[in-house]
Structure 1
Amino acid sequence: MPKIKTRKAAAKRFRLTGSGKFMRRRAGHNHLLEHKTSKRKRKLAGVALVDKRDVVNVRLMLPNTH
């Protein structure tokens, strides 16, 4: 039986926390930042958790995470 491959695009975007949740970056913090407020940019700079409805799909893309 062949090994299950990891989707590399997903592996670069998601990290598993110690408690088993997936972290992700927030969208909208790469460019066009001049007109965004400092508060908004601070909020976008942090990491967020993947929503529980999407966790199933992320787990399928990252089969070797526990």
Structure 2
Amino acid sequence: RLEKAEPIDGRIINRFRQLAKQHLLWISSGGFHQRPGDGTRLLNSHLIINYQGDIIGRYSKIHYFMFKLVL
């Protein structure tokens, strides 16, 4: 949902960055709903945050897929 997504410099990601720096650990976000600067779409993004609180990797899924479960 677009209204619940946040930009990459939003409150939650900034908190993850603070925690990584405070506790000297790396964080892999696992995926979050990112709202890019234009605010018109939703991205499924994954971040890697290093022990200094820097975002050193980012991947945003751009190709959606459908699958059919066959039993």
Say yes or no: TM over 0.5.
Answer: no
More strand by share: 2
TM-score, length of structure 1 as denominator length: 0.24
Structure number with greater Rg is: 1
Higher relative contact order (CA 8 A, sep 6+): 1
More helix by share: 1
